[in-house]
Chain A
């Protein structure tokens, strides 16, 4: 199976959070409302391509690409 992460989405595209590939970061992301099963939408990237802005749990969150890559999606 091909694992996709939030970093693979294109602007405007959505996915469903599947799990996390980084233990430390997942604790923080869970507390910020990124839960498995939740839809997550890639809104737009910063002018230099990094960080990116996603919509999750009804609000906007900014993440670096290194961080986005740890959130796997279905």
Chain B
């Protein structure tokens, strides 16, 4: 069967309507995250067997309250549903509504229905409805709306089978619009229908309303629409207001016959009690701080064991392959370039998984929107938004998913500032660099009997990143001008127990996406680096052994020492070594030599490369033996001063440089995609590098 023969089913609904639960029930592990063509909005798709003969592709669309979008995320819903030519335009839309909050949820349904796409209405959370004494007559509602209506308890999995059967049967629906767009603007709609050969009134009406965000229209077509709108005085906002009110009137009419309300306000005691605690003046912030502390502890404490295991596995694999593959360039490319490269990505999976487990639990329970609520006023002072808290917290694991999480911020300026400052938060790639440098310059002492001095220094580095982010945000707030208004109209959902299956799937998917997205770039970079470090101009590298043997012929070196000398000679004369020497004059005022220069260059691709580069530079073939790198670095002598190479001033200067510099290709790539251009990633790169350079310079000059 051709792929296009598989029916496409889109899931649409308000945020918190239980859409992801339904998606997970339908697709299970058979799902993948990609990006919608042209934008970085997450596209979750999966396959579902509806019955023995029918398989369908399920597309999970971002949660939205209406097809008039407020954020980048929501825009995709109109893009796909409003345009029949879109390759992702679904054959059927399943609109899932929270039945316990019926009216508002039905608004979106009526809009999608009027686009003349076959719909199935799922009334979710029927368990809550039953408890509160609401009675919904699904059959009656179905005959009034002219679409199948399926009561469901998605959390428990009730109603899924009925939905699958309904979708497989694919019954013909008689279309009659709920809202009569034609009467509101008859001439303009007729003109559009004729010009663009559109059949449905509401599709034409939507083109008039939203041509600006319609990415499938050409400039010429947009101009045609503008002309029509002007000619017939199409007043967009006024008509949209009328439309919304008429839709609610229609919804009231449907509800009158099919729903018996016995309570007007749903009892939500549980939520009220919890809100009294979680948004309390003092307790609210203390609880939030405690949760943050718990997340940090877990990321650093629990992740160590699996990370060590992954580290060991990859180094063993590398050693094993080195002995198995025939000797030569290919062998070295694999064992020194590709496998350590992949290992460098995979090692972060535990931290990413733990972080996303927490974020997913906070979102599932409804607590995350309280964090936004608590922090909004504080964040606004810095040009950010309450919603910026989520990316800033995620940034501690990795800036890439964090920057993707800024999409829920409606205001462009606030979103841009958040994207701009998030990479200053100390991500997990800085952790190995911090660890090794702190061990070199900070003595292992306990103060006050409790606090470990090195631990405090590490925490200080995280605080430094946070302060830099906040201050930079404030500066950007003063520089950037915008007329766009900032909104925070946000639903505060009721508290719920997290659905562990959803948490598990989020962990699995985010880790997978991270490995694939970041992995491609890091892999490519590690191959390039390997080439640069393994080859050099002229034939010096081939003659390395000869030259080194000659130079040290007077000294009685052991074979191992000689081997190390050869390795460092090779590195010094490789392309990477030449680059290092070239930039030496620039970095000398910061206290660095050409060897650190190589590490700086290589770790511009990704910070964690620093440790690996150091290992190669100090001629240790064994990257995994961290104490050896440390002791080699500790023993390294600065030939000019005769003192330690990594003294306090140099170490601190390097720490600060790594805290501020934008050394991450993947982040640059993601900022490019999110801001749709090179302007912002380049400004960001320049700003962060300058900040890193100036601060490192000031520190070295002060302490040396």
Contact = CB atoms under 8 A, between A and B. Distances in A.
A63 B488 contact: yes
Interface residues of B, number: 46
A10 interface: no
Given A46-B376, A47-B284, A51-B376, A27 B492 contact: no
A27 B104 contact: no
B374 A31 contact: no
Contact of A61 (B248, B272, B376, B492): B492
B373 A51 contact: yes
Chain B binding surface SS class: helix
Contact of B489 (A28, A43, A55, A59): A28
A60 B492 CA distance: 5
Interface stretch (B38-46, B62-70, B497-505, B663-671): B62-70
A30 interface: yes
B271 interface: yes
Chain A interface, >50% SS class: mixed
A57 B14 CA distance: 14
Given A27-B241, A58-B266, A32 B373 contact: no
Contacts of A28: 70, 487, 489
B488 A47 contact: no
Contacts of B487: 25, 28, 64, 67
B51 to A, nearest CB: 36
B231 interface: no
Interface in A14-63: 23-33, 35, 43-44, 46-51, 53, 55, 57-63
Contact of A59 (B68, B282, B373, B491): B491
Contact of A63 (B100, B279, B369, B489): B489
B285 A55 contact: no
A64 B101 contact: no
Contacts of A43: 272, 275
Interface in B228-258: 237, 240-241, 244-245, 248
Contact of A55 (B102, B265, B276, B493): B265
27 contacts: A27-B240, A27-B241, A30-B241, A31-B65, A33-B103, A35-B245, A35-B248, A43-B275, A48-B378, A51-B373, A51-B386, A51-B488, A53-B279, A53-B373, A55-B265, A57-B101, A57-B103, A57-B104, A58-B266, A59-B492, A59-B493, A59-B494, A61-B491, A61-B492, A62-B489, A62-B492, A63-B488
Interface of A: 23-33, 35, 43-44, 46-51, 53, 55, 57-64, 67
Given A31-B68, A47-B281, A58-B264, 8 more contacts: A29-B489, A35-B245, A43-B275, A51-B376, A53-B275, A59-B494, A61-B489, A64-B376
